[in-house]
Amino acid sequence: MITNPKKGISAFISDCVRWSLSGGRGYKIYLLALLAVMGAGLVSYVKQFQEGLIITGMSDIVSWGLYISNFTFFVGVAAAAVMLIVPAYILKDKDLHEVVIIGECVAVGALIMCLMFITMDMGGPLKVWHMMPGIGLFNWPSSILTWDVLVLNGYLALNSLVPLYILYCNYHDREPVGWKYKPFVFLSILWAVSIHMTTAFLYQGLPARPFWNNPLLGPRFLASAFAAGPAVIMMVLIAIKQWSKYPVDIQIFFKIKRIIVVSAVINLLMLFSEIFKEFYTFTHHSLSAQYLFFGLDGHTSLVPWIWTAIGLNILGTLLFAFDPTKGNPRYLMVAAISLFTGIWIEKGFGLIIPGFIPSPMGEVVDYTPTANEIIITLGVLATGVLVVTLLIKPALAILIKFKEAKT
């Protein structure tokens, strides 16, 4: 056994920082590009901070837009880490155990995006302490939003601390001690389900909005998340296989593919069930669905989006289900991007915007995000990608080193 010359927390931190920033010229350019997008987002956000949310396309009728749409979708991506955690830690699947840490890094990145999107959407971000238990007034358990704050931050803590502990042990050439982290793994599995159900309940619990007030919303959130999330993880794994020394076994792709196919099929089934309910007997409560799928009173801005999304959904599902290339990374990349994009549009835009249209007073308006809003959103996305990158790099370095030390 080779022992590290250096030990302790400070060596761990400095090595992690070094590993996350080291890389070839391409990697440096990639980091700079992300920083540039983040910088543009920051400039736009400063403008929004000064002038108010008036610089967005939102209004009193469509009062949540791009930010909350993306928030909702990325909660699903975060929750999807559980689809690797269950087989890796509970079913003791050796292959998936190799990459579970990547799922957890993706979850952390997604959660940071979620919390940022919520903050970007607030009218008074400086007053956020009003919501903190203890110093503010936390309307728990009445407000579902307070539940969401709890579960999202709790899940972020679980998904940061468990991998951190494991990596810290591996860094010091030790196997992690089971009883010290396994209970938190079990907890994080329940917690993953709860973050997405709670986020669905935010919408599902509003009788004012018939489009959301639907008991299938939560389960469908989960199904779509368990398809889109592993699709993201697969994209990351393909990139790792392509650009790093970390070995990603083909079996891993097959297993993730199977998870995606099952979830995507259940998701499509539920989508069909919803469409049937909305259109077989058309009621006043179906007007939002009418707006989304076919347009209402000449307002059709979401129609091309939702049909693109459904097309991509079906395409992605079919590509994963019938894979003639038997795990060719390029083929899987196309499938993953198509499914991910399809669910992104459908779970984001396609879910949040129609909930507001028509308004409770029957008014129909379109919502178009402004350039500022889009730049801020891109800035948050770039931050998430950067976080995931900077977490995965040292994690892989430690794992590779640990494996070498073991053999």
The residues of the shown chain that bind another protein, judged by CB under 8 A, are 51-54, 56, 58-61, 63-64, 118, 121-128, 130-131, 136-139, 142-146, 149, 202, 206-209, 355-356, 358-363
- Rounded to the nearest 5 degrees, what angle is found at the Cα of 82, between the Cα atoms of 233 and 355? 85
Residue 56 or 224: which CB sits closer to another protein? 56
Closest CA to 117 of 69, 62, 165: 69
Residue 140 or 184: which CB sits closer to another protein? 140
- DSSP class of residue 323 equals -
Q: How far is the CB of 365 from another protein (least distance, A)?
A: 11
Dihedral pair phi/psi, residue 285, rounded to 5°? -75, -5
- DSSP class of residue 4 equals P
Residues linked to residue 296 through DSSP beta bridges, in sequence order: 299
Instruction: Label residue 345 exposed, middle or buried (CB < 10 Å: 0-12, 13-18, 19+).
Output: buried
Q: How far is the CB of 195 from another protein (least distance, A)?
A: 16
Residue 58 or 256: which CB sits closer to another protein? 58
Residue 60 or 404: which CB sits closer to another protein? 60
Q: How far is the CB of 310 from another protein (least distance, A)?
A: 25
Residue 119 or 244: which CB sits closer to another protein? 119
Contact residues for 179 (Cβ-Cβ < 8 A; gap 6+): none
Contact of 242 with 234, CB cutoff 8 Å: no
Q: How far is the CB of 126 from another protein (least distance, A)?
A: 8
Q: How far is the CB of 116 from another protein (least distance, A)?
A: 14
Residue 24 or 207: which CB sits closer to another protein? 207
- As a dihedral over the C-alpha atoms of residue 131, residue 133, residue 137, residue 138, rounded to 10 degrees, the angle is 70
Q: How far is the CB of 323 from another protein (least distance, A)?
A: 41
